[in-house]
Amino acid sequence: MAISPDEVMHIGQLARLGLSESEIERLTDQLSDILGHFEALSSADTENVEPTAHPLSLLNVMRADSVSPSLSPEDVLSNAPEVEDGLIRVRAVLE
């Protein structure tokens, strides 16, 4: 499938890219080649292939949530480098 230089310019405008004439020419060839590869995929026989979002079966590999005791606020604050009014003080991110 061939793509025209006008279509490349339009895509460039949508992406807010300033393309030179040489870039438009190069991208026209490259995008046409890429679309040609997708056309080749359309000739594959997929009649007996069930549609799927992923080729492998996915399982949740995370452990189950379980309630467990956590540190007390005093223990947490004892590990902080600087504490102010019962909170951990950090450097300002924005000045």
Contact between residue 30 and residue 62 where contact means Cβ atoms under 8 Å apart: no
Q: Which residues contact 41 (CB under 8 A, 6 or more apart)?
A: none
Residue-wise pLDDT tens digits, 32-61: 999 999 888 888 888 888 888 887 877 777
Spell out the domain ranges in the chain. 5-42
* pTM given for the model: 0.49
What is the β-pairing status of strands 83-84 and 87-88? Answer: antiparallel
CATH architecture assignment, domain 5-42: Orthogonal Bundle (1.10)
Q: What pLDDT sits at residue 11?
A: 94
Give the H/E segment covering residue 26: helix 21-42
Residue-wise pLDDT tens digits, 1-22: 789 999 999 999 999 999 999 9
Kindly list the distances between the CA atom of residue 40 and the CA atoms of 5, 20, 43, 46, in Å, as whole numbers in the listed order: 22, 30, 6, 13
Return the higher-pLDDT residue of 35 and 95: 35
Please tell me the distance from the alpha carbon of residue 27 to that of residue 2, in angstroms, as a whole number: 11
